[in-house]
Amino acid sequence: MEHEKILRINELAKKKKEVGLTDEEAEERKTLHAQYIKEFREQTEATLKRVRVEQDDGSYKPLVKKEKKLN
Protein backbone atom coordinates (compact mmCIF):
# COMPACT_ATOMS: atom_id res chain seq x y z
CA MET A 1 0.00 0.00 0.00
CA GLU A 2 1.30 3.44 -0.86
CA HIS A 3 2.61 5.54 1.98
CA GLU A 4 0.14 8.33 1.14
CA LYS A 5 -2.81 5.99 1.70
CA ILE A 6 -1.46 4.88 5.07
CA LEU A 7 -1.03 8.53 6.05
CA ARG A 8 -4.63 9.18 4.97
CA ILE A 9 -5.89 6.25 7.09
CA ASN A 10 -4.03 7.67 10.09
CA GLU A 11 -5.32 11.17 9.39
CA LEU A 12 -8.91 9.93 9.27
CA ALA A 13 -8.45 7.88 12.45
CA LYS A 14 -7.15 10.95 14.28
CA LYS A 15 -10.01 13.09 13.01
CA LYS A 16 -12.53 10.42 14.02
CA LYS A 17 -11.26 10.55 17.61
CA GLU A 18 -11.14 14.35 17.75
CA VAL A 19 -14.22 15.65 15.95
CA GLY A 20 -15.84 12.76 14.10
CA LEU A 21 -16.11 11.99 10.41
CA THR A 22 -18.60 12.93 7.76
CA ASP A 23 -20.43 10.09 6.04
CA GLU A 24 -18.15 10.52 3.02
CA GLU A 25 -15.00 10.39 5.16
CA ALA A 26 -16.29 7.36 7.08
CA GLU A 27 -16.86 5.53 3.80
CA GLU A 28 -13.37 6.50 2.57
CA ARG A 29 -11.85 5.26 5.85
CA LYS A 30 -13.77 2.00 5.60
CA THR A 31 -12.61 1.44 2.01
CA LEU A 32 -8.97 2.29 2.75
CA HIS A 33 -8.94 0.12 5.88
CA ALA A 34 -10.39 -2.86 3.98
CA GLN A 35 -7.76 -2.43 1.26
CA TYR A 36 -5.00 -2.23 3.89
CA ILE A 37 -6.18 -5.41 5.64
CA LYS A 38 -6.47 -7.26 2.30
CA GLU A 39 -2.93 -6.31 1.26
CA PHE A 40 -1.55 -7.16 4.72
CA ARG A 41 -3.09 -10.63 4.58
CA GLU A 42 -1.79 -11.23 1.05
CA GLN A 43 1.74 -10.21 2.04
CA THR A 44 1.65 -12.36 5.18
CA GLU A 45 0.40 -15.38 3.24
CA ALA A 46 3.11 -14.90 0.60
CA THR A 47 5.75 -14.77 3.33
CA LEU A 48 4.43 -17.90 5.01
CA LYS A 49 4.44 -19.78 1.69
CA ARG A 50 8.21 -19.26 1.52
CA VAL A 51 8.87 -20.52 5.07
CA ARG A 52 10.51 -23.92 5.38
CA VAL A 53 10.74 -25.83 8.66
CA GLU A 54 13.85 -27.86 9.41
CA GLN A 55 13.02 -31.43 10.39
CA ASP A 56 14.95 -33.59 12.86
CA ASP A 57 16.71 -35.36 9.98
CA GLY A 58 17.97 -32.04 8.58
CA SER A 59 15.54 -31.85 5.68
CA TYR A 60 13.25 -28.88 5.12
CA LYS A 61 9.51 -29.03 4.57
CA PRO A 62 7.09 -26.21 3.76
CA LEU A 63 4.49 -25.10 6.25
CA VAL A 64 1.14 -26.79 5.84
CA LYS A 65 -1.89 -24.54 5.90
CA LYS A 66 -4.42 -25.59 8.52
CA GLU A 67 -7.98 -26.09 7.45
CA LYS A 68 -10.50 -23.64 8.80
CA LYS A 69 -12.53 -24.92 11.72
CA LEU A 70 -16.27 -24.91 11.30
CA ASN A 71 -18.11 -23.61 14.35
**pLDDT tens for each residue of 50-62:** 999 999 999 999 9
Strands 52-54 and 60-62: antiparallel
Question: What is the Cα–Cα distance from 19 to 16, expressed in whole angstroms?
Answer: 6
Structural domain tally of the chain?
Answer: 1
| Residue 68 in domain | no
Domain containing 7 equals 3-62
> Does 70 map to a domain?
no
Q: Is residue 67 part of a domain?
A: no
pTM: 0.73
Contact, 6 vs 36, CB < 8 A? Answer: yes
Length of the chain: 71
Q: What is the pLDDT of residues 24-67, one digit of tens each?
A: 999 999 999 999 999 999 999 999 999 999 999 999 999 888 88
CATH number at residue 21: 1.10.287
Position 52 in a domain: yes
DSSP string covering 38-64, please? HHHHHHHHHHHHH-EEE-TTS-EEE--
- Which phi and psi angles does 8 have, rounded to 5°? -65, -40
Residue 14: inside a domain, yes or no?
Answer: yes
